[in-house]
Amino acid sequence: MIECAKNKLYPATGNQTGRPKASIGEGVPVVVDYPAKALRQILESPGIHQGPACFDALSAKLVQRAGFKYCFTSGFSVSAARLGLPDVGFISYGEMADQGRHITEAVSIPVIGDGDNGYGNAMNVKRTVKGFIKAGFAGIILEDQVSPKACGHTQGRKVVSREEAVMRIKAAIDARNESRSDIVIVARTDSRQAVSLEESLWRSRAFADAGADVLFIDALASREEMKALCDISPLLPKMANMLEGGGKTPILTPLELEEIGFKLVSYPLSLIGVSIQAMQDALVAIKGGRLPPPGTMPSFNEIKEIIGFNAYYEEEKRYTSTTSRYQGGSSANTLPAAQFDREQRDESSKDGVVEVITPYVYDEKYRSNESKDPFPGIWSRSLRVKITGKDGLEKLDVRIPAGFLEGFTNIIQGVGGINLKELLDDVTVDVDLDGNVQRGKKLVDFVDTMGDRIEVFLE
C-alpha cells in the first residue's frame, strides 16, 4: 500500500503499460502508475490548474508543447473528430479507449479521460475504468446520465437514480483497487439541469462519501451555485468546466475560480472549435484558387518539428549504419566504413558484391574534398540497379544518385568489365514528341559469374 492524496491509502498501482516495476510488502510486484501519481501531485499542489481538452494525439502534443501540466479528453470533441457525429451516445467505450491510448502514448503529461456514463451499469463501469487504466489515463470522469447520454449544456439530459449513481462511483473505486492502480476518479453529476441544484449537491456529497477524488457538477448556472459546490467537503478538489462560446456556466478567469475554491478547470471546446474554423477558412481559400494566407498556418518546417520529424532524425542516427552490403542473397553485414571499403574492393573480383554508398559515406569520402569527386554535375540524374538471382528471385532493386557511381563501377568492372561511367557519359537522352524525357533507359544487362542477372537503368 502507498499513501496518496487526502491521506487515504490506496493499493500499490498496477497500470499495464510496461512501466518500471517495484516490490512492496511481501515481495508483491507492482507497477508505479506514473500518470496517476503526477496528476495527484498536481491536485496536491497550490493554486488552480488549467487543462485544455484534446481530441487526438496531435492536439495532446500541442497542449504539452504549450506548457500545460495535464489535459483532458473531451467526449464531445473526440466524437466530432473521430466520427463526425454529435456527442449523444454514438461513440463507444472501445473507440474512446482506443483514442485514449493514442493520446497517452503521444505525451508525457497526465491525461484525464472522459468515461461518459461508464457505458452501462456498474459492471460496465468497472470494465471502463480498467480499460482506461490500461490505455494509460491518469484520471477518468464518470457521470450519472442514463444511456444514451446527452452532451453537457444541451437539452434532454436525464440521470439515473441516486443509488445507481453512487454505485457507479463505488464500482469505479473497486475496479481501481482490483487493477492495483491509483487512477483519479472524477465524479460528475448532470442532475443540476436534469433535476435541480439541490439534487446535484446531494449527489456530490454522496460521491465524496463513496470515495471520489474530485467532484464536478456540470452546467452550474451562477457564481453562487459554483460556490455551493466548493463548500462541500472543502478539502476535496473541485473541477470547473468553462464551456467556450455560450454554455450555461459563467466564464470566469482562473484567479476568480481559485478564489471560489476550484482546483481544476477544463476548456472543452477551444481546440476543436479553432480547428473547425481554421479548416473552414483554409478550404474557402483553396476553393478560390488560393492558399491559406501567411500567418494562418505554420511553415512546413514548423509542422515537421511539431509532429516530431526532427526528433526522429536525431534518434535515427543512433541506428543508421554507415554502409549497407548486399552479397548474393545473404543477410546484410555491417563493418566500419574504412574496413568495409577495403574488403569490398578485395572481394569484388570473387563474389560480385555490390556496395551501396549512402549519403553519409559520400559526404565523408568526397564532399570534404570536392576535387576528389570524379562525377561532378550528375547529381540530378539517378540510376536504378536491379539484381535477380539465377533462381528468379529478386535480390536487390535500388535507386541511387548517379554521383554514387564509383562504388558500382569498381564492382561491376571487376565482374563483367563494364564501365558504367563511360556508358553514362555516352548515353543519349530520348525525348518524345511533347519534349518529355524518356525514363528507364537500360545501360547494362548481363549475367555475372555467380549466375545473377544485373541490370542498370538510367532513370
The whole-angstrom separation of Cα 242 and Cα 220 is 10
pLDDT, position 295: 86
The answer for residues whose C-beta is within 8 angstroms of residue 353's C-beta and 6 or more apart is: 325, 326, 327, 344, 347, 411
Q: Which of 362, 376, 381 is nearest to 324 (CA)?
A: 362
pLDDT, position 458: 81
The answer for residues whose C-beta is within 8 angstroms of residue 16's C-beta and 6 or more apart is: 31, 133, 134, 179
Q: Which of 430, 459, 457, 423 is nearest to 442 (CA)?
A: 457
Question: What does DSSP assign to residue 402?
Answer: G
Q: For 303-319, give the DSSP string.
A: HHHHHTHHHHHHHHGGG
Torsion, CA 428, CA 433, CA 437, CA 438, rounded to 10: -80
Average pLDDT over residues 256-268: 98
pLDDT tens profile 173-198: 999 999 999 999 999 999 999 999 99
The SS3 call for residue 201 is helix
Banded model confidence at residue 362, pLDDT cuts 50, 70, 90: very low
Banded model confidence at residue 21, pLDDT cuts 50, 70, 90: very low
Is residue 14 within 8 Å of 181, Cβ to Cβ?
Answer: yes
The whole-angstrom separation of Cα 397 and Cα 386 is 4
The residue type found at 13 is T
Strands 139-142, 184-189: pairing is parallel
Is pLDDT of 213 > 90? yes
Is pLDDT of 228 > 70? yes
Please identify which residue in the block is written with the cell numbers 475504468: 129
Task: Detail the DSSP E strand segments found in 99-138.
Answer: 111-114
Peptide bond preceding 46 in cis form (omega within 30 of 0): no
Average pLDDT over residues 282-293: 92
Least confidently predicted of 191-205, 288-302, 329-343, 402-416: 329-343
Is residue 186 within 8 Å of 139, Cβ to Cβ?
Answer: yes
Torsion, CA 202, CA 205, CA 207, CA 209, rounded to 10: -140
Most confident of the ranges 19-23, 57-61, 385-389: 57-61
| Higher per-residue pLDDT: 372 or 146 | 146
Is pLDDT of 53 > 70? yes
Please identify which residue in the block is written with the cell numbers 497517452: 104
pLDDT, position 269: 95
Element (H, E) at 325: strand 323-326
Least confidently predicted of 128-142, 268-282, 332-346, 408-422: 332-346
Is pLDDT of 278 > 60? yes
Task: Detail the DSSP E strand segments found in 159-311.
Answer: 184-189, 214-217, 239-241, 264-267
| Higher per-residue pLDDT: 14 or 404 | 404
CA distances to 39, 91, 131, 331, 430 from 126, in Å: 21, 18, 9, 50, 70
| Higher per-residue pLDDT: 149 or 58 | 58
Please report, rounded to a whole number, the percentage of residues in the chain having pLDDT higher than 90: 57
| Higher per-residue pLDDT: 399 or 291 | 291
Element (H, E) at 347: helix 337-351
Banded model confidence at residue 435, pLDDT cuts 50, 70, 90: low
Most confident of the ranges 246-260, 286-300, 374-388: 246-260
Average pLDDT over the chain, rounded to an integer: 81
- In sequence order, the β-bridge partners of residue 445 are 455
The whole-angstrom separation of Cα 419 and Cα 237 is 78
Banded model confidence at residue 222, pLDDT cuts 50, 70, 90: very high
Banded model confidence at residue 408, pLDDT cuts 50, 70, 90: low
- In sequence order, the β-bridge partners of residue 384 are 399, 457
The whole-angstrom separation of Cα 180 and Cα 30 is 8
pLDDT, position 411: 53
pLDDT tens profile 82-113: 999 999 889 999 999 999 999 999 999 999 99
The whole-angstrom separation of Cα 199 and Cα 222 is 16
Most confident of the ranges 65-79, 291-305, 430-444: 65-79
Angle (CA) 213 259 250, round 5°: 85
pLDDT, position 370: 46
pLDDT, position 384: 84
The SS3 call for residue 114 is strand
pLDDT, position 247: 86
Please identify which residue in the block is written with the cell numbers 548481363: 446
| Higher per-residue pLDDT: 16 or 270 | 270
Is residue 326 within 8 Å of 387, Cβ to Cβ?
Answer: yes
Element (H, E) at 77: helix 75-78
pLDDT tens profile 229-253: 999 999 999 999 999 987 899 999 9
pLDDT, position 9: 34
Is pLDDT of 407 > 70? no
pLDDT, position 149: 76
pLDDT, position 400: 76
pLDDT, position 25: 42
